[in-house]
Amino acid sequence: MDDRPYFRPAALDALLADADRLGFAMSCEDRTGSLLATLAASKPRGHLVELGTGVGVGASWLLHGMHPDARLTSVEMDPAHQAVAAEHLGHDTRVSFVSADADAWLDNYAGPPLALAYVDCRPGKFHRLDDLIDLLEPGGLYVVDDLLPQPTWPNDHQARVDSFVAHLPEHSNLLGTVATWASGLLVGTRI
């Protein structure tokens, strides 16, 4: 079976070219992106969040699948990286880019319950998972990637991933599946 996506967001090639120009090597890969688009499509009129915009590759996939009435908030602490995302995706009125540390965003979020949270940074994954789960609506989706070793990982990162996966059963309000597919994924649902 060929598991490469049969669709691609319009802005994807330009975003990847800018990521390469900036030396940014942490964008989500195509299979993960395709899954994000599919999951986003399952949440019409939902409020979605991406913690860790990077240069906007994940956001482009989410937007590709989103219903016209859905909304995406994408949070990134590096303004130079987020500027790339805003340049290519900012015309889409469904997305709001927030320049903030994800911890600060979690502290201050006061919007509607989240239909989907895609976490591509440490807060909401390796710490503050319970805080993020509390923001999900019942049936809300929780997605993380990069659970398999990546060339961009610092030396001490495997221990974080191992601890994250080992402690997942302690979260009684999250039912999830870990998959050794793409970059290593967890797809969960708030119960």
63 vs 54: CA distance, rounded Å: 15
Domain boundaries, position 174 = 12-190
The tens digit of pLDDT for each residue in 48-101 reads 999 999 999 999 999 999 999 999 999 999 999 999 999 999 999 999 999 999
Task: Return the CATH number at 167.
Answer: 3.40.50.150
Kindly state whether residue 7 falls inside one of the protein's structural domains: no
pLDDT at 152: 85
Has residue 162 been placed in a domain? yes
**Chain segment 25-42, per-residue pLDDT in tens:** 889 999 999 999 999 999
Could you give the number of structural domains in the chain? 1
**Closest by Cα among 15, 6, 73, 16 to 38:** 6
| Six token digits for residue 106 | 């979690």
Residue 26 maps to a domain? yes
> Is 131 contained in some domain?
yes
Amino acid 101: pLDDT: 96
Q: Which residue has the tokens 């993380």?
A: 144
Q: Give per-residue pLDDT as tens, 92-115.
A: 999 999 999 999 999 999 999 999
Please determine, for residue 188, whether its predicted confidence score (pLDDT) is greater than 90.
yes
Does residue 89 form part of some domain? yes
Task: Find all residues with CB under 8 Å of 63, minimum gap 6, and list them.
Answer: 9, 40, 72, 89, 92, 94, 95
Question: 112-138, pLDDT tens digit by residue?
Answer: 999 999 999 999 999 999 999 999 999
- How far is the C-alpha of 143 from the C-alpha of 90, rounded, in Å? 23
Is residue 153 very low, low, confident or very high in pLDDT (cuts 50, 70, 90)? confident
pTM of the entire predicted model: 0.95
Structure tokens at 37: 């688009």
